[in-house]
Structure 1
């Protein structure tokens, strides 16, 4: 299994766009996600999309974005759009993708990462700390999390 920036394997871009749109679209056009993926093709810039592959098979994706919640633009950067293909779930890939983004962000000099989720209890297992609720436009309450990169032991906490 290999985790790499999507710009090193652009043949997977259309599948990543479809996954993001189907998993996180909720009324947004596919073009919105296509734009994010297109803008993540610049090495060293945000947003950045990573993919997990095994041979030529795409297993999952995750992003490192400047902002993922319009109501909390004071927080930066964000782990975003974590998606693992159904056939690859239950094998620890979500944790590996998170750790990859955490290591990349730490190396880039960031002190912490943020994410939002509609569910509870998943990210806490990976060392994320719940910091409160926020509003996802236009009216959806979501849970905010912070991961302190200086504290990164990197393991599951259960």
Structure 2
């Protein structure tokens, strides 16, 4: 199985934090890489939420997906969230993102979570193909995003 819990591979945390900072810093205004690394330490704690799952191929880190309590400060009533779905540019278009998302969905289902939420600036069609439905198109930190949900039961 190529999807693993980050808790079992904590040495990848700094690389993930760097990837995530480069990709999404504009959605977290003012957050430094050091702050992101500090915040991501929570993914190494034993609770299911938050958790980060990583895709490894021959020991090489290829991508990540997380489940967190809340991902939008404008929708604190919605929880929990799929977040930080990221695939390294050299590994894209190989099904890794789909495998990561489906793995988080299955793990959430096994943890008695009935609905997951996410927001995406540019991948709504990708998520629709995996059974997600749009809740709203809105602006978040001056970025147009689609907020989505999926029923797991």
- The reply to whether TM is greater than 0.5 is yes
Length-normalised TM-score, structure 1: 0.88
Q: Give the equivalent residue in structure 2 for 1:115.
A: 118
Length-normalised TM-score, structure 2: 0.90
Please give the per-residue CA displacement for 1:96-134, whole angstroms capped at 9, x wherever unaligned.
000110011111111010000112322111111011134
Q: Give the equivalent residue in structure 2 for 1:129.
A: 133
SS, match of residue 125 in structure 2: coil
Structure 1 unmatched runs, 5+: 151-158
SS, match of residue 114 in structure 1: strand
| Structure 1 residue 88 displacement after superposition | 1.2
Please give the per-residue CA displacement for 1:71-92, whole angstroms capped at 9, x wherever unaligned.
0010111000100011211111
Instruction: Tell me how far apart the structure 2 counterparts of residues 107 and 43 of structure 1 sit (CA, whole Å).
Output: 16
Please give the per-residue CA displacement for 1:25-77, whole angstroms capped at 9, x wherever unaligned.
12431133213321110123422111110122001011101000000010111
1:109 to 1:96, Cα distance in 2 relative to 1, 3 A: same
Instruction: Tell me how far apart the structure 2 counterparts of residues 35 and 45 of structure 1 sit (CA, whole Å).
Output: 18
Instruction: Tell me how far apart the structure 1 counterparts of residues 132 and 82 of structure 2 sit (CA, whole Å).
Output: 11
Instruction: Tell me how far apart the structure 1 counterparts of residues 143 and 70 of structure 2 sit (CA, whole Å).
Output: 17
Instruction: Tell me how far apart the structure 1 counterparts of residues 117 and 85 of structure 2 sit (CA, whole Å).
Output: 13
| Structure 1 residue 147 displacement after superposition | 0.8
Q: Give the equivalent residue in structure 1 for 2:5.
A: 5
Q: Give the equivalent residue in structure 1 for 2:54.
A: 51
Q: Give the equivalent residue in structure 1 for 2:105.
A: 102
Structure 2 unmatched runs, 5+: none
Matched, 1:78 2:75: no
Tell me the C-alpha RMSD between the 2 structures: 1.4
Q: Give the equivalent residue in structure 2 for 1:142.
A: 145
Runs ≥4 in structure 1, deviation > 4 angstroms?
A: none
Q: Give the equivalent residue in structure 2 for 1:20.
A: 20
